[in-house]
């Protein structure tokens, strides 16, 4: 009888339908009308569709884009049924004529596609015309690519391959706020790239060694304290029981201090020290940012340290510069498993809405105002002005000068003793500190669109 019951139970198991994984399909297109440049950011638009039942182990996945020796990963939650569209950006000097896009779940490939691209020669101009298909006039501007307004990139990086973006003479298409911001910031980056002035590197602003020094100092103090405690005990041949409560009290006191300092426990903090160069262009919105940073982690475990409020990428400085990661919202992240006191050095290349300075012009005169909430120091005009050294500028304070020489790219610069990029982590708080060089390019704004 028992054998019969067992056979019936096994038969019932076999009769149950197997839970099938969902059907995942992926489509992709890349470039500006299919055109891209080696060494420049290229937009990749990805459509992921999921049908069928979703099993419990495939709710979280990622999109992986590969082009030459570069790879970009972006987290994605797979629900079924669902249809998601995302836009990623990839850059490589080892450019090929196709880009591969994969959808992975637990490192298992669910779908893949290959999209072709066309490479623009370095000396060949790339003009992008914005208009619905077949509506651009045949005379006038020669368009290398014509793009529908709704297909324009959502990040400044999507325009990196272009030399110019033009609109129909009779009207300008309606763009989303995100697309407007992307165009504004691309123009800032383009103006800075065309400038002939020199600016300091991020490494010259402040050595990013505060986190490393903090870690080394903490280890040295701990080792010294341990030595002071252990050395007398080694000199005592017969230890009384009273010694052990002393040891326990010292360990408890050390733990309380460590917890209060945010080094261990549930309130432990990630420390990020950064040095940045922030470049602005007078009359244009947003800033271009290049930062070097070192993060120190307080406990062993997985970490996703993200840069909030910037549009760009984070590259680890440990040699993995060609593998970039982004969270589900497109924010750049440093992801991995780190131990107590471990550090990670990385670089951030991005644009940001942060603006520290503004300028107004009146003939040869220029007025520069500190529009930030921080006091700026070591401010100065570049050569070719009636004055150079300014000193400190308090929030809201302004300074005036007269341009006296034909300086090719006049600038105004200051130093800021604060972190420009705010880093965050979902599981624990983050302390941000650092310094920045602020460079304002004093190019009088153009009046034409």
Last residue of a domain, one of 260, 289, 323: 260
Judge if 25 and 168 occupy the same domain.
Answer: yes
In percent, the amount of the chain with pLDDT more than 70 equals 74
Residue-level pLDDT at 260:
44
227 band by pLDDT with thresholds 50, 70 and 90 = low
Judge if 251 and 130 occupy the same domain.
Answer: no
- The domain in which residue 249 lies consists of 210-260
- What's the token pair of residue 304? 């996703």
Q: Would residue 233 count as lying in a domain?
A: yes
384 against 254, higher pLDDT? 384
C-beta separation of 422 from 293 below 8 A: no
How many helices (H) and strands (E) the chain has is answered by 5, 27
Q: Would residue 384 count as lying in a domain?
A: no
Judged against a pLDDT cut of 70, whether residue 96 lies above it is answered with yes
Last residue of a domain, one of 175, 197, 218: 175
Q: Would residue 205 count as lying in a domain?
A: no
Q: Would residue 433 count as lying in a domain?
A: no
Residue-level pLDDT at 322:
74
Q: Would residue 48 count as lying in a domain?
A: yes
Element (H, E) at 15: helix 2-15
Beta strands 422-425; 301-308: pairing state: antiparallel
Closest CA to 278 of 376, 183, 404, 401: 376
C-beta separation of 21 from 94 below 8 A: no
Please give the angle made by the CA atoms of 322, 125 and 91, to the nearest 5 degrees.
10
Q: What's the CA gap between 387 and 392, in Å, rounded?
A: 14
Judge if 254 and 120 occupy the same domain.
Answer: no
Q: What's the CA gap between 218 and 343, in Å, rounded?
A: 14
Q: Would residue 88 count as lying in a domain?
A: yes
Residue-level pLDDT at 262:
44
Judge if 143 and 245 occupy the same domain.
Answer: no
Residue-level pLDDT at 20:
44
Mind listing the pLDDT tens digit for each residue in 5-19? 444 444 444 444 434
Judge if 150 and 225 occupy the same domain.
Answer: no
Q: Would residue 265 count as lying in a domain?
A: no
40-44, 141-145, 331-335, 371-375 — which is least confidently predicted? 141-145
Q: What's the CA gap between 316 and 321, in Å, rounded?
A: 6
Judge if 98 and 26 occupy the same domain.
Answer: yes
Residue-level pLDDT at 296:
93
On the question of a cis peptide bond just before residue 81, with omega within 30 degrees of 0, the verdict is yes
Q: What's the CA gap between 381 and 437, in Å, rounded?
A: 14
Q: What is the DSSP letter of 241?
A: T
Element (H, E) at 404: none
Mean pLDDT in residue range 12-32: 68
What is the secondary structure of 314-363 as a DSSP string?
Answer: EEESSS-TTEEEE-TTS-BEEEEEE-TT-EEEEEEEEEES---EEEEEET
Judge if 56 and 164 occupy the same domain.
Answer: yes
39-43, 200-204, 250-254, 263-267 — which is least confidently predicted? 263-267
Closest CA to 397 of 369, 361, 372: 369
446 band by pLDDT with thresholds 50, 70 and 90 = low
425 against 81, higher pLDDT? 425
Distances (CA, A) of 115 to 97, 339, 381: 9, 40, 49
Strand partners, 28: 46
1 band by pLDDT with thresholds 50, 70 and 90 = low
C-beta separation of 377 from 392 below 8 A: yes
Judged against a pLDDT cut of 80, whether residue 361 lies above it is answered with yes
Last residue of a domain, one of 126, 159, 175: 175
* SS3 (DSSP) at 183: helix
Q: What's the CA gap between 435 and 202, in Å, rounded?
A: 9
* SS3 (DSSP) at 97: coil
Mind listing the pLDDT tens digit for each residue in 56-80? 445 788 999 999 999 999 999 888 7
Judge if 170 and 214 occupy the same domain.
Answer: no
Length of the chain counted residue by residue: 449
71-80, 200-209, 434-443 — which is least confidently predicted? 200-209
Number of domains in the chain: 2
Residue ranges of E strands in 82-229: 82-90, 98-105, 108-116, 118-119, 127-130, 145-147, 164-166
Residue-level pLDDT at 261:
44
Judge if 42 and 159 occupy the same domain.
Answer: yes
- Residue 430's φ and ψ, nearest 5 degrees, are -130, 130
Judge if 148 and 237 occupy the same domain.
Answer: no
427 band by pLDDT with thresholds 50, 70 and 90 = confident
Mean pLDDT in residue range 281-290: 94
Residue-level pLDDT at 383:
86
Q: Would residue 340 count as lying in a domain?
A: no
- What's the token pair of residue 242? 């009273």
Judge if 220 and 73 occupy the same domain.
Answer: no
Mean pLDDT in residue range 158-183: 87
> What CATH number did the domain enclosing 63 receive?
2.60.40.10
C-beta separation of 330 from 313 below 8 A: no
Judge if 247 and 112 occupy the same domain.
Answer: no
Q: What is the DSSP letter of 32?
A: B
87-91, 96-100, 163-167, 367-371 — which is least confidently predicted? 163-167
Please give the angle made by the CA atoms of 313, 319 and 320, to the nearest 5 degrees.
45
Q: What's the CA gap between 63 and 59, in Å, rounded?
A: 13
- What's the token pair of residue 107? 């490192």
53 against 130, higher pLDDT? 130
Judged against a pLDDT cut of 80, whether residue 320 lies above it is answered with no
Strand partners, 364: none
Cα maximum dimension of the chain: 106
């Amino acid at each position: 009888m028992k054998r019969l019951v067992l056979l019936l139970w096994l038969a019932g198991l076999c009769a149950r339908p197997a839970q099938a994984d969902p059907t995942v399909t992926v489509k992709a297109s890349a470039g500006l009308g299919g055109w891209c440049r080696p060494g420049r950011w290229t937009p990749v638009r990805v459509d992921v569709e999921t049908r069928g039942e979703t099993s419990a182990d495939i709710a979280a996945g990622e999109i992986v884009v590969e082009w030459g020796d570069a790879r970009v990963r972006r987290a994605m939650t797979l629900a079924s049924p669902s249809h998601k569209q995302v836009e990623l950006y990839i850059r490589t000097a080892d450019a090929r004529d196709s880009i591969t896009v994969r959808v992975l779940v637990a490192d298992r490939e669910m779908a893949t596609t290959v999209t072709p691209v066309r490479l623009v020669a370095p000396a060949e101009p790339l003009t992008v015309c914005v208009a619905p298909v077949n509506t651009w006039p045949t005379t006038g501007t020669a368009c290398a690519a014509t793009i529908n307004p709704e297909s324009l990139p959502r990040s400044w990086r999507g325009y990196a391959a272009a030399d110019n973006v033009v609109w129909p003479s009779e009207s300008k298409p309606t763009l989303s706020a995100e697309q407007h911001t992307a165009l504004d910031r691309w123009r800032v980056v383009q103006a800075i790239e065309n400038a002939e002035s020199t600016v300091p590197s991020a490494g010259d602003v402040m050595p990013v060694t505060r986190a490393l020094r903090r870690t080394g100092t903490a280890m040295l103090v701990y080792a010294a304290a341990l030595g002071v405690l252990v050395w007398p005990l080694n000199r005592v041949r017969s230890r009384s029981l009273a010694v052990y409560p002393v040891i326990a009290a010292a360990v408890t006191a050390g733990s309380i201090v460590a917890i209060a300092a945010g080094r261990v426990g549930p309130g432990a903090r990630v420390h990020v020290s950064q040095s940045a160069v922030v470049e602005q262009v007078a009359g244009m919105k947003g800033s271009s940012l290049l930062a070097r940073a070192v993060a120190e982690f307080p406990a062993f475990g997985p970490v996703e340290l993200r840069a909030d409020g910037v549009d760009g990428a984070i590259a680890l400085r440990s040699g993995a510069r060609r593998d970039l990661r982004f969270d589900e919202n497109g924010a750049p992240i440093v992801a991995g498993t780190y131990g107590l006191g471990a550090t990670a050095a990385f670089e951030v290349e991005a644009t940001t809405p942060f603006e520290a300075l503004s300028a107004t012009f009146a003939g040869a005169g220029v007025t520069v105002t500190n529009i930030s909430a921080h006091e700026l120091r070591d401010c100065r005009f570049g050569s070719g002005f009636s004055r150079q050294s300014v000193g400190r500028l308090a929030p809201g304070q302004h300074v005036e000068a007269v341009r006296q020489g034909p300086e090719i790219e006049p600038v105004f610069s200051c130093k800021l003793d604060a972190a420009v990029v705010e880093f965050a982590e979902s599981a624990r708080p983050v302390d941000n500190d650092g310094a920045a060089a602020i460079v304002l390019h004093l190019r009088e704004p153009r009046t034409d669109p």
